[in-house]
Structure 1
Amino acid sequence: MINGAIMNIKQLSLAAAVSALTFTTASNAVLGPIPIYLNPVKVSANYFNDLDTHATFASEIYSSQDIKESGSNNLYDFLSNNTSITITPNAGNKFSQKIDMRGYGTTNGHQNIVITVDGVRLNNHTSSSQSIGNIILNNIDRIEITKGSGSVVYGDGAMSGAIHIFMKDAYDSYVELETGNYGVINKSISTSSKSDVLIINAAIETQERGGFSVADSTSNKDWGKQTNKEIDLKIDATNNTQIQLSLANNDSDYRYPEYQTISQFNSDPTQNGTGRNYAHSIINSDDYSLGINTKINDTLTLDIKTTEEEKTSETTFYWGSGGIKKDRKTSDSLTFNYTNNNTTIDGGYSKLYGERKEKSYGSSTFDKLTTKDNKGYFVQAKHLIDNTNYVAGYRNESVNYFYNKTSATGNHDLTAYNFGINKKLDDNLSIFSNYNKAFQAYDINTAFKYTGAPTYDNTFDGFLKPMISKTLNIGLNYTNQDSKTKLTLFRSNLNNEIYLHKQNANDFGTNSNLDKSHKTGIEIDNKYIINPKVTTGVNYSYVDAIIDSEDKVEDRGSFNGKTLPGVSKHTVAVNIKFKLFDKSTLVLKHKYRSEAYAEEDFSNTNTDKTKAFNSTDLNYAYNYSEDIDFSLDIENFFKKKHATLLGDYNSTGGNVVYPASFTRNIKAGLTYRF
């Protein structure tokens, strides 16, 4: 299999290498007061704390300055418009968006990527995507995106890689107000108090929008409001021990429209395509985490962490309530780090538990309980010989499922491993490669299926299998005083990729496995200093996601050799930054994703596709004084329309779309620091 992967990568390597080295790239070169992070930066996500140019895997790193200059409203906006990540509203819901990386598709991509905040997993035990819109953007220190790696440390779901968000040790103290068209109002206040042994951070943020579509029959537009509150304490209990306690509360109340026909979207995307009342979601969550990090001696450190989230949610559709759902998830972990000269060893144990409580039909109590319980351990080692890093790691994880109404149970025992190498050829150039095995154990919504008579309830789906991927990455890092370039070629071979299987047009579908599939691609990330006042950034990715074989029989024909639906082959994010005067900067950005097969169109027979995505954005920032900043942001300047296509099963006449973007959004902001 490795030989096959290398053969496919060789076909792409020459053109990609020429393209990458044409752009060539730096972190701490300075353009006036604007830091451009081009020098190598440390990557903390895998616990080795290597410089990104010394790591054995591909990565994208974004600093707090990158985030500030982006003009983004929230983390969804930043990742969508500035990185190789694909972000799109979930069935038109801008407050809950779908996430994909490396060609797993917009339908299930979020289940194949791990997202963490300061090491705490955000992945859910249900089919819901990770909630990243409630992370206060201004308090993020950096974002690390690791690709084709992470399964040894993070286990379940780290198929395409991981997104790691690190918050600032001490938050900035500021008040910020932003207002824009379509009823956009964002307000936030953040502060920090610091002494020799204690840091206290506190922040509150509200995000509001008035709506982009016409009102429904209840006079409600697709409006929304989200409030995020958090408090964080860091205590230096001794010279060698730090204790961290974090508390957060998030409230969301929003409405979103249903689908439209293609002709409706093309003529007027603001209309209510079905004439029905918009879906209305109310979500409340409380989170806490407690961590202890202690240095045992000069070579050994220990980290202990426990977290809990309790969430209540209810969505009311045009036909009525979908029911109140109570979710609870906890995590406990113990990890160690041993470092001695050129050798580093990490290891640990983690336990993830998730449950959902619901009411049975006609019941007044939450009598339905479904759970997923993960327990795993890992060990990995790194050794440096001369200018070469060698890495190896292994993980074992057990996954157990339970549903109380029928006493249905299921379990899997899964493994992951990683082998990597990075060789520094000279002061400017390094090459790397890693071979990674990863797995995804499906969520509780997928694990159980409805049986009908005589129980009319759910049982464990013993025919469904966990996904397995084996990924080969080959890449290089090139830096000089003016530029920094990263190039990666990869191939992932998959067994049992999970998808929704429909036998015919009248079938609602059951979850099933694609027998074999693969993904091949190229990733190029370049930053370049043209002169002391102008810098550019280019991030390009190409992914070819192919179904190799699937033995299910359907009336649309064979899936063999077809492209996975919902995957754009080409994704490009470009930006150019101008330092206009000593106190002002202008950033121009453009994001492009090529067309993709309609969601659920596994046979590639639908004549319509999800159209290409284009958005041009502008951000102007003016530093009035040491304490006051002004900003002006324009998103989707040319008002390009985009929607996700859900293909009708066997006729294009029934195709529908979920609008994603179709307006020019203008926002002005004022920030006061104290």
Structure 2
Amino acid sequence: MKKKILLSLLASSILVAQNIELKPLDITSTAIKTDELKSTDAVEVYTADDIQKAHAQNLYEFLNQQTSVSTMPSYGNPFSQKLDMRGYGMGDGYQNIVVTLNGRKINNIDMVAPLLSAISPDSIEKIEIIKSGGIVASGDGANAGVINITAKKNNDKEVAFYGGSYGKTDGSFYLGHSDEKFSISAGGEAQNSDGVRHINDSGGKDENRFKTAAFNFAYNPTNELELRAGAALVRTDVIYASYLTLDEYKNDPKQAGATNWGASKQKFDTDAVNAGFSYYFSNKLSLNADANHEEKTSNYVTYSSVADYIYNSAKTTLNYDGENVTILAGFDIFDGKRESHANSYRTENETAKKNLASFFISNFKFDNHSLKASARVENVEYRYDDASNALKDNHSLFGAELGYNYTFDKANSVFLNYAHAYQAPDIDRFFNRDWFGTVTFNGFINPMKTDSFTLGFNNITPLNKFKISLFYVDLKDEIYYFADPTFMNSKNTNIDKSYKYGLDIYDKWLITDEFNIALNYNYVKAVIDKELEGGNDYSGNDLPGVSNHNIKATLSYLPTKNTILSLTQVYRSEAYAANDFNNNFAQKQDAYIHTDISATYTRDNLELFAKINNLFNQKNGLWIQDNAIYPINFTTTAIAGFKLKI
């Protein structure tokens, strides 16, 4: 029997063939279950169909092309990319976004961004992005918001493969079974690339490869009890090239460059296990508990730098879900440590960060009104030990959220929310490195605190889904790295005062049965209100690494019910280079321009697809400072493959 093709664009990827109507999507990953129309927050929801029809080679690509989140490889590393949302900057924005996978927080305790390349797009059931919200449920770091990722748990059985330019190959599978008593799923992915950029004069390339595997299990021995467990592993091996000067970048972004410090090789392995249960005392009252254990090893082969990580976390909640009142209370604990092995520029040391929190969330519904009130108290402890030091620090932090939604009818609603959030410093912020690579203690710095206000309107009809929101964020002690031109006085520190404001617009329009269009536009202004450092007065300057205008649009055409042709355009306006807090560098971050085109044909259980990325061979790069440019998405690439449902 022929499958019905769903077409969506951009904010929801590629949706709807014929006689399909838009409707509010459920929000299931947050503590309070609701939908897009009734939410007290600005939200984006993407389903498995949205993600798979985009044919993204990894989750970073999907977020960058289809959502309000911006991504860029971290100093050239494609497997560890920086994230930005709502103007926190491409430099440190990722530390202000909490990312969860099935409720497990996957942020790191140091300056390593969440490893989203470890999550296969084909394994995802849903992505929910909560903007300027989530501090109470997700805790430390949820200033810009939360990205909640939920893995599949259904009866799908499928395999997929694609190949492409520069030796790119990718194979993945998912096998699932679910019934009233029992559900089990297993999935995996393996990807390999021969590399695009040169890393030396001998013809070497920036090769990379990774493998992932995941297993999840749930069992209901009685109607009241659910038991669950899971395991996942990731193996990455990547070589990435260094920065280029402006002339090198303009002449040939594929070259290794003559004046940088050379390519880096990193191996990064992760093993994680989890277990939990839910007990339902009644159809309204339930107890939920989950625990996670994760071990990681990062090996920068180039620098003989090895670090081992051990993360343990647990979360327990008691939920009351009545007809008009929902109340949730819980405890949240995280204990993470990093053991850094000795090498030529550092002694063996152990650094730890421990979070302990309690929280309370309530939601009240009456007539067309919905009111959310919630609070979180969190204690953060730090510890550093080496042969000659034993240092400690701690902070007590408070978070709160208030939200209101008025639903006029089945199509229209307005919402207003406030969030007081915080970010405790990561463990790398306490250390500096001089010209010779020697690591010294910088001193404990202050946590960042934010007050966010968002006003929004939703209009969701069968043919159009329109969302608009205005936001303002007041910040105290925003954390940043002061890059002294001489390097000798560089350090991690705080911006005394800063603020951000902006506008988010999302529109998905089913024009006809054949044409659909989606638009995601974000305007943001991020300003340093007060900061003096190293004889520099940054007051009134723009925060570097923040593009004022971000536009992502997808036009899709369905010539037949089995065929989808899609054109995606991404544009980010120019910005100050990542280290340009004085706003006076000779070179600015160029505008980011990227055009993709894809074709999908589906018949019965087989899907064939092809995609060309960066159709017009546009050069793009990440500017750190003058003549320090990391090329990204700078050449045209193509993939073609299939997906078979068994």
After TM superposition, the score normalised by the length of structure 1 is 0.90
Displacement of 1:189 in angstroms is 2.0
1:309: Cα distance to partner? 0.9
Alignment match, 2:450: 469
Select which of 420, 443, 446 maps to 1:437. Answer: 420
Q: Which amino acid aligns with 1:490?
A: F
User: Following the alignment from structure 1 to structure 2, what is the Cα–Cα distance between the partners of residues 476 and 195?
Assistant: 39
Q: Which residue does the alignment assign to 2:228?
A: 244
2:3 corresponding residue in structure 1: none
Query: Once structures 1 and 2 are overlaid, which stretch shifts more, 413-422 or 425-434?
Result: 425-434
| Pairing partner for 2:255 from 265, 268, 271 | 271
- Equivalent residue, structure 2, for 1:9: none
1:232-631 pair list within 5 angstroms? 232-274=216-258, 277-317=262-302, 320-321=303-304, 323-361=305-343, 367-405=348-386, 406-448=389-431, 459=441, 461-462=443-444, 464-507=445-488, 509-554=490-535, 557-623=536-602, 625-631=603-609
8 Å Cα contact 2:140/2:423 also seen in 1: yes
Give distance in 1, aligned partners of 2:57 and 2:459. Answer: 32
Are the equivalent residues in 1 in contact too, given 2:186–2:214 (CA < 8 A)? Answer: yes
Residues 281 and 316 of structure 1 are in contact (CA less than 8 Å); yes or no, is this contact kept in structure 2?
yes
- In the alignment, the residues of structure 2 paired with residue 28 and residue 558 of structure 1 have an alpha-carbon distance, to the nearest angstrom, of 47
Q: 1:186 to 1:592 in 2, by over 3 A?
A: same
How far did 1:170 drift? 2.0
Shift of the 646–508 alpha-carbon distance from structure 1 to 2, 3 Å rule, reads farther
Q: Quick check: 1:168 aligned with 2:149? A: no
Q: Distance in 1 between matches of 2:590 and 2:155?
A: 41
Counterpart CA distance in 2 for 1:540 and 1:92 is 26
For the 8 Å contact 1:139–1:171, the answer to whether it is kept is no
Query: How far apart are the structure 2 equivalents of 1:27 and 1:621?
Result: 13
1:104 correspondence with 2:88: yes
Is it true that 1:632 corresponds to 2:617 in the alignment?
no
Moved more, 132-141 or 431-440: 132-141
The question of whether the paired residues in 1 share the 8 Å contact of 2:477 and 2:496 is answered with yes
- Residue by residue, what CA displacement relative to the aligned partner does 1:429-484 show, whole Å, maximum 9, x if unpaired? 110000110000011111356799xxx9755724x100000000000101222111
Query: How far is 1:191 from its partner?
Result: 1.2
CA distance in 1, matches of 2:633, 2:495: 32
**How far did residue 226 of structure 1 move?**
0.3
Deviation readout 1:201-260 (Å, 9 max, x if unpaired): 111211111111125256531010000011111111211221111111110111000110
* Residue in 2 that maps onto 1:203: 187
d(CA) in 2 for partners of 1:258 and 1:562?
29
Query: Is the Cα–Cα contact under 8 Å of residues 451 and 457 in structure 1 kept in the other structure?
Result: yes
User: Which range moved further: 251-260 or 216-225?
Assistant: 216-225
Give per-residue Cα distances to partners, 1:172-215, cap 9 Å, x unaligned: 21121100001110011221234542222111211111111125
Distance 1:639 1:190, change over 3 A: same
Query: Which one of 660, 668, 672 corresponds to residue 632 of structure 2?
Result: 660
Partner of 1:227 in structure 2?
211
2:132 is aligned with 1:148 = yes
Equivalence for 1:642: 620
1:599–1:645 Cα contact (<8 Å) kept: yes
The CA distance in 2 between the partners of 1:269 and 1:501, in whole Å, is 28
CA 1:524–1:311: 2 relative to 1, 3 Å: same
Q: Deviations over 1:99-131 (max 9, x none)?
A: 111111111111100000111101111110001
CA distance in 2 between partners of 1:430 and 1:558 (Å) = 44
Whether the 8 Å contact between 2:72 and 2:632 is mirrored in structure 1 is: yes
Measured on the aligned residues, the alpha-carbon RMSD in Å equals: 2.3
1:340 deviation in Å? 1.9
Distance 1:379 1:588, change over 3 A: same
Distance, in Å, in 2 between the alignment partners of 1:144 and 1:475 is 17
Give the structure-2-normalised TM-score.
0.94
* Structure 2 Cα separation of the partners of residues 63 and 27 of structure 1: 9
Structure 2: unaligned runs, 5 residues or longer: 1-10
Query: Contact 1:139 / 1:172 at 8 angstroms: preserved in 2?
Result: no
Which amino acid in 2 is paired with 1:325?
A
CA spacing shift, 1:552–1:180, aligned 2, 3 Å: same
CA 1:114–1:553: 2 relative to 1, 3 Å: same
Q: Check 1:385–1:597 CA distance in 2 against 1; reply closer, same or farther (3 A cut).
A: same
Letter in 2 for 1:491: Y
Change in Cα spacing, 1:436 to 1:538, as seen in structure 2 (3 Å) is same
Q: Match of 2:616, as an amino acid?
A: F
Q: Give SS of 1:427's match.
A: coil
Give 1:16's aligned residue.
none
Identity over the aligned pairs, expressed in percent?
31
What secondary structure does 1:169 align onto? coil
Whole-Å Cα distance in 2 between the matches of residues 224 and 175 of structure 1? 22
Q: Could you tell me how far apart the structure 1 residues matched to 2:489 and 2:58 are?
A: 35
Whichever residue aligns with residue 439 of structure 1, its letter is: Y
Q: Distance in 1 between matches of 2:29 and 2:439?
A: 42
Picking from 122, 139, 152, the partner of 1:138 is: 122
Contact conserved, 1:27 with 1:41, CA < 8 A, in 2? no
The alignment status of 1:57 with 2:36, answered yes or no, reads no
Q: Aligned with 2:220: secondary structure? A: strand
Q: CA-to-partner distance for each residue in 1:249-294, whole Å, 9 max, x for gaps?
A: 1101110001100110101111111376521111111011112122
Shift of 1:411: 0.2
Tell me the distance in 1 between the aligned counterparts of 2:202 and 2:296.
27
The alpha-carbon distance between structure 1 residues 53 and 26, as it changes in their structure 2 partners (threshold 3 A), is farther
C-alpha deviation, 1:514, in angstroms: 0.4
1:132 deviates by 0.8
- CA drift of 1:424 comes to 1.1
The amino acid of 2:478's aligned partner reads E
The DSSP-based 3-state class of the residue aligned with 2:43 is strand
Aligned: 1:93 with 2:52: no
The alpha-carbon deviation at position 608 of structure 1 amounts to 1.3
Distance (whole Å) between structure 1 residues aligned to residue 290 and residue 256 of structure 2: 47
Tell me which amino acid in the other structure corresponds to 1:603. N
- Pick closer, same or farther for the CA change 1:508–1:220 going to 2, 3 Å: farther
Provide closer, same or farther for how the CA distance between residues 69 and 249 of structure 1 changes in structure 2, counting only shifts above 3 A.
same
Shift in CA distance, 522/172, structure 1 to aligned 2, threshold 3 Å: same
Contact 2:79 2:116 survives alignment (8 Å): no
Q: 1:627 to 1:508 in 2, by over 3 A?
A: farther
Q: When the two structures are aligned, how many residues end up with a matched partner?
A: 632
Cα gap change, 1:525 to 1:373, in 2 (>3 Å): same
**Code of the aligned partner of 2:18:** G
Contact 2:431 2:439 in 1 (8 A): no
C-alpha distance in structure 2 between counterparts of 1:284 and 1:547, whole Å: 38
How far off is 1:582 after superposition? 2.3
Structure 1 stretches of 4+ with a deviation exceeding 6 A read: 25-29
Gaps of 5+ in 1: 1-24, 649-654
The CA deviation string for residues 136-178 of structure 1, in whole angstroms up to 9 with x for no partner, is 1112111101101101111100000010111111262112110
The Cα shift of 1:504 comes to 4.3
